[in-house]
Chain A
Amino acid sequence: MSQLGIVYALLGAALAVLLAGAGSSIGVGIAGQAASGVVTEDPSKFAKVLIMQLLPGTQGIYGLLVGFITLSKVGLLGGQVAALTPQSGLMILAACLPIGIVGLISGKYQGKTSAAAIGIVAKKPDQFGKAMLFPAMVETYAILALLISILAVTNIPV
């Protein structure tokens, strides 16, 4: 029974990393296909489309960050595992969900927006700055979710 709390907390850390990472990999994959299409015809645009491709990669980093903070919070990184009640474990799990779920969805849609923005770069490379703003808008919601996940994980009493 005493182990259940730590199991919930670990599940939270795993979901944050898994879901956000999956979102990023889908997004980077979509944008990567579009980037490859442009570079096939015009290799000089490699640097610009690479930046576009990397934009959906941040959700995975946010998930990783929340995962680290969670592991640190429950003492798994330092070797001193905290004695968590099931309630505390569930609270940590709930705290990890925002970045997990929002990371998954925003990663995918940021990838699609990046692919569309790569189309702008292909036709009008001088509009790179404006093109980058569209996928960057999707990032806002991943950052909001990250903020809430970090605030919640760090403030749950253990």
Chain B
Amino acid sequence: MSDMEFTYAVARIRALEVSLFSASTIEQLIACQSEESCLQFLTERGWGDSDTPLNADAILTRESEKIWETMREMRIDMSVFDVLSYPNLFHNLKAAIKEVCSEETHPGIFFEDCAISPKEMMDIIREKDFSRLPANMAHAAEEAYETLLHTRDGQLCDVIIDKATLEAIYQAGLDANADIIRNYAEDTVAVANIKIAVRSQKTAKSLDFMKRAMVECESLSVDQLAKAALNSMDAICEYLSGTAYAEGAKALAESTSAFERWCDNRIIHTIQPQKYNAFSVGPLVAYVLARENEIKTVRIILSGKANNLPDDSIRERVREMYV
């Protein structure tokens, strides 16, 4: 699709951006006394539907569904959002493999709003008909299924599928015409590699394990990052300080939650210029990411309120807003 094909959708997104939460709205939400008053605050601003129960999960799930309902109404080629939908799709693959291999059923573990429905995914795995999956999933699905069936090693199964997810995201980024999708894919893969390095360092994983889990990207050297992780956390920070993720190294030195916040804020900084773009798919992708970031931030605040965390502790974890 040419950039001009998105004119209607971008203008509609501009109108919708008015209702995105700003930093001051988030501050008002934090100032609410309890989780109930937070939920009341959210419903007054149109979160959930009139028939949505007044509980955090129901409201946040409904808001996530609304994002994709809105995008489908735009009548655009939804493949531009592949890069954003892969994590949920591959999560469903992981869940289906585990359910089939363990012969147990666990309600509510699938994302409903995916290109392949949970029922179809279960049928594919049960029948071992991996050719019905997209090309970037089929091989990983078969390998993960066989691995879990023969070794019962759930972590190895996770590693295989998580790596396939990152590779699919990276490839979607390379194939995309829009800069925002390329940058998002690069950042997502690089940040995932950093997270793998940090966790592997803490759990003393081997070099082979890290290389098996990490995905090559342009902005980081997987080899150097994995070797740094073998040494110490300081070595990871030192390596990162010489890359585009130097700020991340500082956050990492501070705490894990500071690093998680930095990862999300980095994505928001990447999409900020889309506020001034009147054409192309960029503002649409930015809106989806901004909404997901908003929902994640609200979830953090609601969890904090439910667990009676002090406001300052909640504020430390709050992400930057798009508007």
Contact = CB atoms under 8 A, between A and B. Distances in A.
Interface in B1-42: 4, 7-18
Interface residues of B, number: 15
A33 B11 contact: yes
B278 interface: yes
Contacts of B18: 42, 122-123
Contacts of B13: 37
29 contacts: A30-B7, A33-B11, A34-B7, A34-B10, A34-B11, A35-B11, A36-B8, A37-B8, A37-B9, A37-B10, A37-B11, A37-B12, A37-B15, A38-B12, A38-B14, A38-B15, A40-B15, A41-B16, A42-B18, A45-B15, A112-B278, A112-B279, A115-B11, A115-B278, A116-B278, A118-B14, A119-B10, A119-B278, A122-B18
Contacts, number: 57
B7 A122 contact: no
Question: Which bucket holds chain A's interface residue count?
Answer: 10 to 19
Interface string A3-47: 000000000000000000000000000100111111011100100
Contacts of A37: 7-15
A122 B8 CA distance: 12
A42 B15 contact: yes
Main SS class of interface, B: helix
A153 B9 CA distance: 43
A45 B9 CA distance: 16
B19 to A, nearest CB: 9
Contacts of B16: 41
Given A41-B12, A41-B15, A41-B16, A33 B7 contact: yes
Given A30-B4, A112-B279, A118 B11 contact: yes
A12 to B, nearest CB: 31
Contacts of B8: 33-34, 36-37
Given A34-B11, A115-B279, 9 more contacts: A34-B10, A35-B11, A37-B11, A40-B12, A41-B15, A112-B279, A118-B14, A119-B11, A122-B15
Contacts of B279: 112, 115-116
Contacts of B278: 34, 112, 115-116, 119
A122 B323 CA distance: 14
Nearest to A40: B12
A55 B172 CA distance: 39
A40 B10 CA distance: 12
A119 B7 contact: no
- Scoring A35, A37, A40, A42 by chain B CB atoms within 10 A of each residue's CB, the highest score goes to A37
